[in-house]
Chains A and B, each alone.
Chain A
């Protein structure tokens, strides 16, 4: 049962462009939506997160857009840099003691 769907599977952008990564979910009880990034040989690390009280969250070049009605959220990476190349995971969780579910990941490559 895939509760969090992520697309695209892989994405290549040029340096300076905006990368857009998409996720959707099914369970209406989800109320916390983080994004993690994972560099080769390392563990996932929290990048940015949002709760449904907001429809947008910004942190530097990283922005989450959240659409509660359509059950979708996306990560926008502005002015992409080669150092942003990594696998990005979206996740969703609720407060009912159910462990977060992760999307399948998007492998982002930023070409100089």
Chain B
């Protein structure tokens, strides 16, 4: 099966903890992304990776960092979570930035 796979589906943690989310795509795409979707459904780009090169790094807090071992994997680490980090984090991939996206199922983070 070819798709974008994210783990975990759901994560609950306390303020100040470190969390990591995994994303893997088996579509042979060259570009991967992380988006944050808040409670109002707004989709905000966080990072883009093209063949392990960071091509977009939006003004996200420095506690967020992308990690990639190859073009099929793009993980997201949050060093010290804060309550406002509670959201759904969506991983996506595409052949190019101006082509169709495939999204993963998302990781819902709840910070308490």
Contact = CB atoms under 8 A, between A and B. Distances in A.
Given A38-B41, A44-B43, A89-B43, A100 B105 contact: no
Contact of B103 (A31, A45, A107): A45
Contact of A43 (B90, B98, B100): B90
Interface string A10-41: 00000000000000000000011010101000
Q: How large is the interface on B (under 10, 10 to 19, 20 to 34, 35 or more residues)?
A: 20 to 34
Interface residues of A, number: 26
A97 B56 contact: yes
B48 interface: yes
B55 interface: yes
Interface of A: 31-32, 34, 36, 38, 42-46, 49, 87, 89, 93-102, 104-105, 107
Given A97-B55, A97-B56, A102-B42, 9 more contacts: A46-B100, A46-B101, A49-B100, A89-B43, A98-B56, A99-B48, A99-B56, A100-B45, A102-B35
